[in-house]
Amino acid sequence: MTQVKNNAIKFAYWVPNVSGGLVVSNIKQRTDWSYDYNVKLAQTAENSGFEYALTQIRFTAGYNAENQHESVSFSHGILAKTEKLKVIAAILPGPWKPALAAKQLATIDHLTHGRIAINVVSGWFRGEFDAIGEEWPEHDQRYARSEEFIRALKGVWTQDNFSFDGKFYQFKDYTLSPKPIQKPHIEIFQGGSSRAARDMASRVSDWYFTNGNTPEELKKQIDDIREKAKANNHDVKVGVNAFIIARDTEEEAKAVLQEIIDGANVEAVKAFGDATKEAGAATAEGEGNWAKSTFEDLVQYNDGFRTNLIGTPQQIAERIVELKSVGVDLVLSGFLHFIEEVEYFGEKVLPLVRELEASQQNQITAKSA
């Protein structure tokens, strides 16, 4: 496995703990949502240079995801069968309260020697909240709730006799013991592309995930969030979604992309698009994560095609280094046939990325000498 330096771009993968894979398409996928498959995938990923895995949280079926394993327990299951991988459990404020999440994750942190993390998902699917009887605040209030959730987690994880009087959550002289192994606290991720999401990340989150996009568009978001974080005396790292199709030739890779799009489950894609538009229309600026997504983009849940990591290993490696140059710290990856493609990525793409990074670093060192 390639040695990772501190400033090297990092790699994560979406855990397929829901059925249907990462594309809303009827294309045949050699990807499975079972625990056994996911254990083998996690072990393959950590041996292929991936540092993080992200489990998904769904409470209801829809958009090709008929079955869904719960994220926190599934994350722990993967961690129990791996040695180095850090697993990020997706948690929804609403169904979870910060007291429960803090306790669950602190315990898992001890059981796994500091390898759990959290992705706070503010919510994008109203039908899910309605189905389980949870309140659905308007868009910016969902982010306000998530921000309180994160502030509460940090307080519980780092302080004794913690008190908090928020709009959504309250604590009075609460002490959690034992606290997590990770210091100052368990890593906190969040997603989103709206102004409210970026503003929240710039105040409280360690990591910010955004949807796939071009380097130019990503740079605008990253510059905005870093400028705001600096004003808040805060530091936030950025991850970008990408659906990776690496093949020996560009023609092969593009043919796979076309096959995925040609096999799109039209009804499910349109329903997914309607749900995301409902969520996005509620933002103050009338735009959300999927505001500019085309039908083809929506075939992959998080606009992963738009990042354009589709082609030969060399093409993909060069584009990854370009993403790094605009401020991306991590690539959150999806694949069609997960295990075999993660392995291919580790063997063929990642070494090229590290070579390009080393070459750039040598040039910088030479210029400053």
> Which of 332, 161, 167, 179 is CA-nearest to residue 244?
332
| pTM for this entry | 0.91
Hey, is 56 helix, strand or coil? coil
pLDDT of residue 48: 98
pLDDT of residue 2: 46
- N- to C-terminal Cα separation, the chain: 31
pLDDT of residue 3: 47
> CA quadruple 156, 160, 165, 171: dihedral positive or negative?
positive
**Exposure class string for 203-231: b at 16+ Cβ within 10 A, else e:** bbbbbbbbbbbebebbbebbeebbebbee
The angle formed by the CA atoms of residues 15, 18 and 24, to the nearest 5 degrees, is 100
Domains defined along the chain, listed by start:
10-368 (3.20.20.30)
Positions of the chain with pLDDT lower than 50, given as ranges: 1-3, 289-290
> Which of 181, 241, 243, 180 is CA-nearest to residue 208?
241
pLDDT of residue 291: 58
pLDDT of residue 1: 47
pLDDT of residue 100: 98
pLDDT of residue 265: 79
> CA quadruple 325, 330, 333, 339: dihedral positive or negative?
positive
pLDDT of residue 17: 97
Spatial CB neighbours of 75, under 8 Å, sequence gap ≥ 6 = 15, 53, 55, 87, 88, 89, 108, 116
